[in-house]
């Protein structure tokens, strides 16, 4: 199975993008680098978690660190596109290893406030302090000498953002590969109408913009893929090509009503709303997750 690929930038203002596929969660982690300066950003890193045994590990994060060391990169940023519902974030672990600052969209505070209620965390600080930097809509930054900016891309979650770094856009849970479709919008705070608007903003980028998705579910058993272009998505994505807003919302709502909740959503959000920090050990030295029962209404049974 293909679990790594490198997409080279075609000019000095376009980054190299290394993608690392996690077959357990169907997630893609990215190292985005400026070849001229050897500076890089890590996007959506995975902390390994086995829900059957409760074991955690850093295999995938350590794979990123090994690649960074081999390439002689310096990490400028550790970025999440949103608080993930299907895997734990390794952002905090990677900050401890590299010293690089962590970042996410400022709207994560809305997600924290929502899940604070679900988990009954009356004293939880829902102000985003768990990250070093909260990016606002339109904010700019750099990876090496390459210009980057932030687009607010809600719909899948209240906090979802797209990082546009040179000619590469990291869209995570908005679009999937053109042969698969679009992301679900039925999580707490989600909206198919808002997701449509976010996707239209992404598709307004130049047609040769490289789009990098956060997951791939390998339809028809093909090898994992995670790169496309705006032009390909417009022409080939069955949820978008020849589809208007009304039809998209109807399609998305019907499809979402038939999907079970991700198996790790209640595990992952209590880690990822903390910036990837695991719960503090209790008196016996063990860490515990708190799973609320009957918290998510309307989930389809498998």
pLDDT in tens, 246-286: 999 999 999 999 888 899 999 999 999 999 999 999 999 99
The answer, yes or no, to whether residue 42 has pLDDT greater than 80, is yes
Q: pLDDT band for position 222 (50/70/90)?
A: very high
Provide the pLDDT for residue 5. Answer: 98
Domain residue extents for the chain: 11-272
The CATH class given to the 11-272 domain equals alpha beta
Sign of CA pseudo-dihedral 105, 89, 154, 293: negative
| Mean pLDDT (whole number) for 203-209 | 98
The residue among 165, 175, 215, 169 whose CA lies nearest residue 195 is 175
Q: How far apart are CA 149 and CA 279, in angstroms?
A: 32
The answer, yes or no, to whether residue 6 has pLDDT greater than 90, is yes
The answer, yes or no, to whether residue 298 has pLDDT greater than 80, is no
Name the token pair of 270. Answer: 């209590």
Looking at every residue in the chain, the average pLDDT score rounds to 96
CB 215 within 8 A of CB 181: no
The residue among 256, 298, 290, 285 whose CA lies nearest residue 273 is 290
């Amino acid at each position: 199975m293909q679990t790594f690929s490198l997409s080279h930038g075609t000019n000095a203002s376009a980054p190299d993008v290394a993608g690392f596929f996690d077959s357990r969660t169907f997630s893609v982690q990215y190292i985005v680098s400026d070849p001229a300066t050897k500076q890089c950003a890590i996007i959506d890193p995975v902390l390994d978690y086995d829900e059957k045994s409760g074991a955690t590990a850093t295999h995938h994060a350590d794979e990123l660190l090994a690649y960074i060391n081999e390439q002689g990169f310096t990490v400028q940023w550790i970025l999440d596109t949103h608080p993930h519902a299907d895997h734990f974030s390794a952002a905090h672990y990677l900050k401890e290893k590299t010293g690089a600052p962590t970042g996410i969209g400022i709207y994560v505070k809305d997600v924290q406030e929502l899940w604070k209620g679900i988990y009954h965390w009356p004293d939880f600080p829902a102000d985003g302090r768990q990250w070093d930097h909260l990016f606002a809509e339109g904010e700019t930054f750099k990876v090496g000498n390459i210009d980057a900016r932030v687009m607010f891309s809600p719909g899948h979650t209240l906090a979802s953002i797209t990082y546009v770094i040179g000619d590469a856009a990291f869209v995570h849970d908005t679009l999937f590969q053109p042969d698969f479709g679009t992301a679900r919008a039925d999580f707490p705070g989600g909206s198919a109408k808002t997701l449509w608007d976010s996707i239209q903003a992404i598709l307004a980028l130049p047609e040769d913009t490289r789009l990098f998705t956060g997951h791939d579910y390998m339809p028809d058993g093909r090898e994992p893929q995670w790169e496309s272009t705006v032009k390909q998505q417009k022409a080939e994505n069955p949820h978008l090509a020849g589809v208007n807003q009304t039809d998209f919302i109807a399609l998305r709502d019907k499809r979402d009503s038939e999907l079970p909740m991700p198996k790790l959503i209640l595990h992952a959000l209590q880690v990822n709303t903390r910036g990837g920090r695991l719960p503090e050990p209790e008196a016996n030295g063990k860490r515990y997750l708190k799973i609320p029962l009957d918290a998510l209404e309307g989930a389809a049974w498998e």
